[in-house]
Structure 1
Amino acid sequence: MTDQQTPHAATDATLSHASAQPRAQKDIFGYLVLITGVGALVWGAVAAVGTGWGFWAYTSGLKGVAGAFLLGVAALLMGLVQEWRVRKSTTPPLRARRWVGMLVALVYVGWVGTFLVKALTVPAIHDISTDLADPPAFQTLQMRADNLDNVPGADDAKMRGLTPEQRWAMVHQKAYGDIRSVRVNEPVASVVAKAERLAKARGWDVAISLPEEGRLEATETSAFFQFKDDVILRVRPSATGAGSIVDMRSVSRVGQSDLGMNAKRVRSFLADLTGTVTAAQ
């Protein structure tokens, strides 16, 4: 290399370094979006799993999930704003980090968003029964003490003067009118035995199964939060003696709204139990 070439090489290196610096500085937003998006997912997962492991109360876990949801929304907004800012830039920063962060945030926000939408479309109740006039009563498992506290409709003029149980029945009937007693053309003991097999196949913890009494009680536990919902199946001979009448009740141990999960459980279980669900007459 000659003395004349050295200044040119130094100049080229300086210009290259100078042009790279703005790109690196602008990509700070890419790192920020990536960290925020991944952080939202991790925060939400830790909040849910930590609740299931008993590290904190479920209310704290739900607050963590909600906070992570807002953080995920912030990651998406930051990514969109940065995309708008650099769309006409002559030296736009790399998009890979920003897009990965936005994608992770979108997955988490979308997942939590489905529950938020569900909460807006179902009533805030957590006790579902096929028989509203005479719900099956738990005998082995214990009904939550606050089951009828904060039942919707207390401020509704149409429900003024009704007891919490009457309001629950009205709200339940309006939202889940399809959930009713069903008839099965099998004897009581056979129905309960089949129900026990189905419950165990679903991974439920069967507290008691008494085919001769027509009763089964069990608990299902959710995956992340480890929420427990208690179920009772009551099977009685039909009035004509031909077959059995099956009633089912599913109750969440905590929370005001079950996001429709108990109704979904009752429908699904009875469909499997009867093959074709037929309303009892």
Structure 2
Amino acid sequence: MTDQNQATEPPIAERPPTPAKAKAQKLTSLRRDPNGWLILLLGLGAPIAYIIAAGGSGLGLWGWQAGLAALPWIILTALAALVLAVGVIILHRRKGRKTRWPLLGLGVLATLGFLGYLLPYGVAYITLPAIHDITTDLADPPQFTALTLRPDNWDNIPGVDDGDMRGMNPRQRWATEHQDAYPDIRSVRIDQPVAVVIEKAKRLAEDRGWDIASVDPAAGNLEATDTVSLFRLKNDVVIRARAAENGAASIIDMRSVSRVGVHDLGVNAKRVRQFLSDLSGTTTAASQ
């Protein structure tokens, strides 16, 4: 009986490892994966560096220019993680080695998630003009009274070297670029008196967390500031309502201007669209 049992038992070398031993082997394998650790470090380091750069600017630890200046280097770090990961995978396949995925996979996922977050901003930077003042009325934009329009608002308007805009002053070039990029940004007509519309605009602004600088329902004016992103960038907004049809309706115009920077990446146009859409929907629902 003893000889038969010994004959049927697998050799010690062929026995499957115990759970504790398998876990120890896995940890040893991870420790011996320097490429995986490097890719993970770069993949996680890029978004962490972005949070530090943007958050530090928002907290006032350094200027927004310094935070933005770090962004290209942060993006290069993320791209380096991807390039290294692809290189490691190709090298392992050529040498017939098995790719160690835990660390490498986490690093790639972190990198792709971060680059995916930045992608819309990159597309906006490439496809939209470098302007930061958006309004529904190009001929007669609403004017700030409580807030102050930035003194360099008309500086650095693109189109100086564009033959089609030769001879135009900065404001004319701004209007041309604005119209080409945002033809849908227009005045809105609402079937409510001016005072009612401005009161509802105030409630919408407060719901969005905007800082109200001034509101005058009788005069049809509201000014506020919206603070956005980790950089805590401020954008000033003015809403103007003018009476139409003997006061039974209102023509609403809106203007949104970034306090700093040249290119707003389309955020002001998005703000105007969403706010006027919500305002029109609110007033329509209230009138039914």
Q: What TM bracket, shorter-length normalisation?
A: 0.7 to 0.9
- What residue in structure 2 maps to residue 3 of structure 1? none
For 1:19-55, what per-residue CA distance to the aligned partner results, in whole angstroms no more than 9, with x for missing partners? x9x9679611111111111111111111111111111
Counterpart amino acid of 2:149?
M
- Is contact 2:197–2:283 with CA below 8 Å preserved after alignment? no
- What residue in structure 1 maps to residue 39 of structure 2? 33
Unaligned runs of 5+ in 1: 1-8, 10-19
Structure 1 runs of 4+ aligned residues shifted over 4 Å read 22-26, 88-91
- What residue in structure 2 maps to residue 115 of structure 1? 121
SS, match of residue 87 in structure 1: helix
- Is contact 1:44–1:68 with CA below 8 Å preserved after alignment? yes
Distance in 2, Cα, partners of 1:277 & 1:29: 59
Structure 1's 277 and 64: CA in aligned 2 closer, same or farther, altered over 3 A? farther
Count of residue pairs brought into register by the alignment: 259
Does residue 1:131 correspond to 2:134, yes or no? no
- What residue in structure 1 maps to residue 18 of structure 2? none
Structure 1 length-normalised TM: 0.87
Counterpart amino acid of 1:124?
A
Does residue 1:205 correspond to 2:207, yes or no? no
1:78 counterpart (74, 77, 84)? 84
2:192 counterpart (162, 186, 189)? 186
1:249 counterpart (243, 251, 255)? 255
Distance in 1, Cα, partners of 2:272 & 2:99: 53
For 1:45-77, what per-residue CA distance to the aligned partner results, in whole angstroms no more than 9, with x for missing partners? 111111111111111111222211110000011
Counterpart amino acid of 1:274?
S
CA RMSD across the alignment: 2.2
- What residue in structure 2 maps to residue 104 of structure 1? 110
- What residue in structure 2 maps to residue 6 of structure 1? none
- Is contact 1:219–1:231 with CA below 8 Å preserved after alignment? yes
Identity of aligned residues (%): 48
Distance in 2, Cα, partners of 1:166 & 1:97: 54
Unaligned runs of 5+ in 2: 1-12, 14-25
- What residue in structure 1 maps to residue 3 of structure 2? none
2:264 counterpart (255, 258, 264)? 258
Distance in 1, Cα, partners of 2:255 & 2:174: 14
1:89 Cα deviation (Å)?
4.4
1:150 counterpart (140, 143, 156)? 156
